[in-house]
Structures are given as structure tokens and as C-alpha cells.
Amino acid sequence: MGGAGGGGTRDIDGNKADKKGKVSGKITVWSWDVAAKAMKRLARTFEQRHPGTTVDVVDIGYDNAYDKLTVGLRAGSGLADVLTVEGDHMPRYTANFPSAFYDLTNLGGRYGGDFDRAAWSTVTGRKSAVLALPWDIGPCALYYRTDHFRAAGVDPKSLLTWDDYVTAGVRIKKATGHRLLIQDSTDAGILPMLLQQQGQSYFKGGRVAVDTPEAVRAMTLMKTLHDKGLVDYENGWDGFVTGTKEGKAATTPTAAWWTGTLTDEMPELKGRFGVTPLPGFTADGTRTSNIGGSTLCVPAQSKNPRLAWAFIEFLLTSKANQVSMLKHEGLFPAYLPALDDPYLSAKQEYFGGQAALDVFARLARNIPPVEYTKDDAKASDIMISTVNGVMLRGKDPRTALDAAARQIAAATGRERVK
């Protein structure tokens, strides 16, 4: 059933003639967390607008969602009509299951210019086929504790480079005793973020790129942060949130969706946080990156792809819906026209009157696109060990990255950039 032979993906039929045609029937949508909530809410509007349709949104939970997707893709059946897949996971699936998704190029290709280009690059497969539409993104900036910075006499605006950041960290620690940032020891910390800021991921042009000068620079920065005692290590998401709530760290370099966690879990810290662009590797370098973000796609097993597409289009290419999902569920839109909405430039009480969303909206247009591959999970495991090796056991960044590159190359059969 899936795929029009030759390992290609297939189109959703009748796209042109039926552009104004009616859709009917029922689809199931899989998602999780606030994304499921948002879709459940807007599905009702969609059903009203298209009588005779039913959109059943199922919250499958995040933790094991990919197990469900993997098994369904692998078995060739049993999946929903619309799937939520995080942008950085999409290439892994399209590479391993090349005919498992509908090709949306004819229908969605025209929206290419409307989406953040880093997010768009995650949904285009081989031969620029569009296999999903981007939903939300995670533009990065530096959340900081206004009180800690004030106490140490550090102006957050003066943090132009990561060197400034380290210097400020030392001062803040001396003045207030607070460390600079929290690292979750079950993942690779800020390494992927620092790499994307410099325009690369673990791979470049299909080759292993974890020992490039950029990677060495990122890892050296992380080692410096550790060596100067500026890192607080916590275990898992729960530890990360608790550490922040307890004020263990003066900053959190992370994505826009962190605001949701702050307002939900630490309402008492209202007025203590501010947001400023990420420090750059050079004073005029890129001041942002990306963490997370998801996309919606239609698996080739879907029996009602036209309705599936109609729902995706309704949800993601409408400024009003995108802004509503940002407002209610905190999903930061990859759909650029939505960023002009006045809601984004409004002052936010939680951030002491700062227009924090505006900082992200400005940065969102400059996120460097990077390459994701089917081997990211493999590389990621090795990089987590490497980060821990350098930070916790004092290995030399260059040597450790060289070893990691060798290991990834061996595990994936890819060549190295160097």
C-alpha cells in the first residue's frame, strides 16, 4: 500500500481539483501534552467548519510516543492519520521508512516561505520533498535571574559573548553564591544548542562533525564552565525544574517553551526573570539557536489523507490559530506571519513587564538550519558520554571529541569531516 514504488512517497490524490472540494469522514490524530490539548480545542472549530468530519485527537503521552510510532511504521499499519513528530526526529523516520509518509509537496510546498527555515529544513526529505509541516519551534535565548544579576552588579545586556558569560558567572558566584547554569546529566547539556548556534549538528554533509573547530570551541566552553565551578548538576527534568525553582542557577540558556514551565511551576518567582539573546561565540555572531519543536505528518497508511491534510493546513497555516496556540498552550509558532501579531510584543507581567516573547520573535528568524540524520540517536548516546567524560572526569575536549568522532564513524559507517 504505502509508497508509489521505487521507495518514493506518494501524493495525496486530487489535490488541485479538490482544493475547494469537501472533506468528510473521520481521522485520528496522535499527540501529547499541551500539543494534544491545543488540537483537541481547535478540532472542534474544524469540525464545525467542515460538517460531516470527525477529528479524534488522542493523547498518547510523550515518554513512549516514539515506541508507538516506530512499531506502527515498522509494521506498516496501526498508526493514526496525523502524527506529531519532533522536527529533529523526523529525518530518522523518513530515512529509515522512506515510503511511510505522504508527500505533501504539492499541497504544502507553497507554504515553504512562510515557515522558519530551520524548521522547514527538518520537514523536507530527499529531493526536497515536503513530508510534514512544522508546527512549533524552540528559539533559544538566555533566561536570567534579575535579582542575582543585580546583586552582582552585572548588566545582562553586557553578555555579548560566551566569554562575557563566563566572566559574569564568576562574579555572580562570588557575589551571591549562585552557580551560573544547571546541567541535566542524563543528556548532553547545552552542547547541541551551542553547535546549532554555530550552524552545525553532529553531522555535516552526511559526515561525522563532532570534532570540528566549532565543536571543540563548544566543548571547551562547557569544560571552562565546569572548571570554574559554575555548573550545577541535576538528574532528569524533575531535577532541572527543582534546581531552577530553588534558584541554584542564575541563568538558563534554553528555548522559548521554558516560559511555560516557569509560569506553571514557579509562579512565586514572578518578576525575578528576564530574557536576553544568547551570548555569541563572537560579538557579532548568531545570538540564538533552537531546542525542540515539532511537526505534523500524514503516514502513508492513512485511509483519509485528504481530511488529514485539511486539518493540518487548518491548524498550522492560519495566523489566528497559531497565535491562539501560543496564547493558550505556549506553543511558539514556526509559522512566521504569526510572529507579527501584537500579542508577541505585549509586555509580560511574569517577566517584570519585559516583552519577553518579542525577544524570541526577533531571534526566531535567525535560527541557523542544521542537518538531522537517521543516526542522530546513535551519535547522541555517544555524545552524552563524551560530555560527561569531559565535564565530570576532566578529559581533554579535543581528545575526547576526536575519540567520539571515531566511535560515531565506526557505529554509523560514515566518514569524518576531518
Partner 1 sequence: MAVDTTYDRPAAPARAPAAPRRRRSPRRVAWIFAGPAAALFALFFAYPLGASLLQSFTTEDAGATRWVGLDQYRRMIHDPAFVESLVNTGIILVVQVPVMIGLALVLAVLLNQSWLRLRGTWRAVHFLPAVTTLVAYAVVFQVLLKTDGGLVNQILGAVGIGPVDWLNSPTWARISLIASLTWRWTGYNAVILLAGLQAIGNEQYEAAAIDGSGTLSTYARVILPQLRPVVLFCVVTSTIGTLQLFDENYVLTRGGPDDATLTPVVYLYKVGFQQLDFGYAAAIAWVVVALIAAISALQYAAFGRERRR
Partner 2 sequence: MTAVQHASVRAHPARRLGRVAVWLFLACGAVVSLVPFLWMAIAATHSTSDLFHSPPPFLPGGRLLDNLARLQDTIGFGRVLLNSLGIAVVHTALSSLISAMCGYGLAKYRFRGRGLLLGAVLATMMIPFQVLLVPLFQMMASVGWIDSYQAVILPFLANSFGILLMRQGFVDFPDEILESARIDGSGELRTFYQVVLPCVRPQLGALVIFTFMTQWNSFIWPLLMLNSEDKYTVPVALNTLTGLSRVDYSGLMLGSLLATLPLMALFLLFQRQFVAGLLGGAVKG
The residues binding partner 1 (CB under 8 A) are 7, 66-67, 70, 74, 92-93, 95-99, 185-186, 233-236, 238-239, 242-243, 246, 248, 374-375, 377-378, 381, 384-385, 388-389, 392, 407, 410-411
Three-state DSSP at 333 gives strand
In angstroms, what is the minimal distance from the CB of 409 to partner 1?
13
Compute CA 5 distance to the chain's CA centroid, rounded to the nearest angstrom: 33
Site mask for partner 2 (CB under 8 A), range 12-31, x = bound: ----------------x-x-
Residue choice 155, 227, 265, 415 for contact with partner 2 (CB under 8 A)? 265
DSSP assignment of 55-95: EEEEE--STTHHHHHHHHHHHT----SEEEEETTTHHHHHH
Interacting positions 362-381 with partner 2 (CB under 8 A): none
**What are the grid coordinates assigned to 313, written together?**
493546513
Residue 7, binding choice from partner 1, partner 2, none, Cβ under 5 to 8 Å by partner class: partner 1
| Nearest to 328, CA basis, from 42, 59, 29 | 42
Strands 25-31 and 53-59: parallel
User: To 10 degrees, the CA torsion angle through 210, 213, 217, 222?
Assistant: 20
Among residues 147 and 187, whose Cβ is nearest to partner 1?
Answer: 187
Among residues 214 and 234, whose Cβ is nearest to partner 2?
Answer: 234
The H or E element spanning position 275 is strand 273-276
| Nearest to 250, CA basis, from 234, 270, 226, 274 | 274
Interacting positions 64-103 with partner 2 (CB under 8 A): 64, 67-68, 71-72, 74-78, 80
Site mask for partner 2 (CB under 8 A), range 29-48, x = bound: -x-xxxxx------------
Told to check if 58 binds partner 2 by CB under 8 A, we report yes
The position carrying cell 511574569 is 350
In angstroms, what is the minimal distance from the CB of 35 to partner 2?
8
The backbone region for 229, taken as left when phi is positive above 0, alpha when psi lies in -120 to 50, beta otherwise, is: left
- Under the rule (CB under 8 A), what is the footprint of partner 2? 28, 30, 32-36, 56, 58-64, 67-68, 71-72, 74-78, 80, 237-238, 241-243, 245-246, 257-258, 260-261, 264-267, 292
